[in-house]
Chain A
Amino acid sequence: MTEQRVSYTLDSSLETIDSCEEKATRIATELGFGEDEVMQISMAVREGAVNAVLHGNSYAADKKVTLAFERTGNELVITIRDQGKGMDLSKIPNPLAPENLLKTSGRGIFLMRSFMDVVEIRPSSTGTELKLIKHVHGPTAGGKEASQ
């Protein structure tokens, strides 16, 4: 990532999920993260994209997912927004609870929290904003804001 901030507006499709993961992998690598951290960041972004495409926008063709990467100080800040109806955070079950261990879903946010330094979820009636932060240890990036 040569710019300090780059953002993408993407369709609500399965291809978007793979695309978000690929972009996260590339940018995290460019910022100098180690192999394990790159995997953690790309997986967290993938899980965030899955939530945005499936649970947020429900694959709706008229709804977009926006993905942004920003280098601020010693942090990589990743923001994923959808245009869904928001989510009730109090209804997210603990996937480690014995009664939930054999459930086939509900681990995405848990994995994000396991892999990132900060995970913030801001639901609203017009969509959910997810912020993922990982501390940067690589070379400093510089440049101007870019958008695609």
Chain B
Amino acid sequence: MTMKVGNRQVDGVTIVDCSGRITLGEGSVILRDTVRDLLSKGNKKIVLNLADVNYIDSSGIGELVSAFTTTKNQGGELKLLNLTKKVNDLLQITKLYTVFDVKDDEAAAVKSFK
């Protein structure tokens, strides 16, 4: 299953609903292009909703890190929402859980932006 994304705005925050696999190749490219496009249009408060992401590899993890740092370097914030157990476990063992701001409630995630 390839990755699909859909964007929506909630109180000035862009929610990116992701589904499928974030892996080397198409999945990583779609995520990269989506975040860059949002930033180029001035959308700097971003939440990646990963509820329907069922698989992620090391390239996908790298792309999440890249999205996080790219957003931060442009004065924005990127947070993660609704991690599946698999993705949660991967972020735990790679110690990235402490790097990302991870939320499990969309309303709380939106409110958490400054």
Flag whether A148 is at the interface (Cβ < 8 A): no
* A50 touching B57 in the complex, CB below 8 Å, given contacts A103-B65, A104-B65: yes
CA distance A46 to B24 in the complex (A): 10
Q: Which of B57, B68, B86, B90 contacts A46 (CB 8 A)?
A: B57
Q: CB-CB < 8 A to B57: which residues of A?
A: 43, 46-47, 50
Q: CB-nearest residue of chain A relative to B21?
A: A18
In B78-114, which residues have CB < 8 Å from any A CB? Answer: 86, 90, 93-96, 99
* Interface size range of chain A in the complex: 20 to 34
**Which residues in A have their C-beta under 8 angstroms from that of B42?**
none
Q: Give chain A residues whose Cβ lies under 8 Å from the Cβ of B9.
A: none
Answer yes or no: A61 CB below 8 A from chain B CBs.
no
Please indicate the chain A residues that have their CB under 8 angstroms from the CB of B6 in the complex: none
Contact between chains at A47 and B25 (CB < 8 Å): no
CB of A14 within 8 A of CB of B95, answer no
When the two chains form their complex, are residues A107 and B24 in contact, meaning their CB atoms are under 8 A apart? no
Number of inter-chain CB pairs below 8 Å: 45
**Contact between B99 and A107, CB atoms less than 8 A apart:** no
> Given A39-B86, A95-B94, A101-B99, A107–B61 Cβ distance below 8 Å?
yes
How many B residues face the partner with a CB closer than 8 A?
20
Binds B, one of A66-74, A75-83, A108-116, A132-140: A108-116
A 14-66 contacts with B by CB, 8 A: 14, 17, 39, 43, 46-47, 50, 54
Q: List 20 A-B contacts (CB under 8 A).
A: A39-B86, A43-B57, A46-B57, A50-B24, A50-B57, A50-B59, A54-B24, A95-B94, A101-B96, A102-B68, A102-B69, A104-B63, A104-B66, A105-B59, A107-B58, A107-B61, A107-B94, A110-B94, A111-B90, A111-B93
**Alpha-carbon separation in the docked complex, A111 to B23 (Å):** 14
CA distance A96 to B93 in the complex (A): 9
Of all chain B residues, the one with the shortest Cβ separation from A114 is: B93
> How far, in Å, is B41 (CB) from chain A's closest CB?
23
Contacts of A103 in B (CB 8 A): 62, 65
Asked whether A101 lies within 8 Å of B95 as measured between CB atoms, the reply is yes
State in angstroms the CA–CA spacing of A78 and B49 once bound together: 35
CA distance A14 to B23 in the complex (A): 11
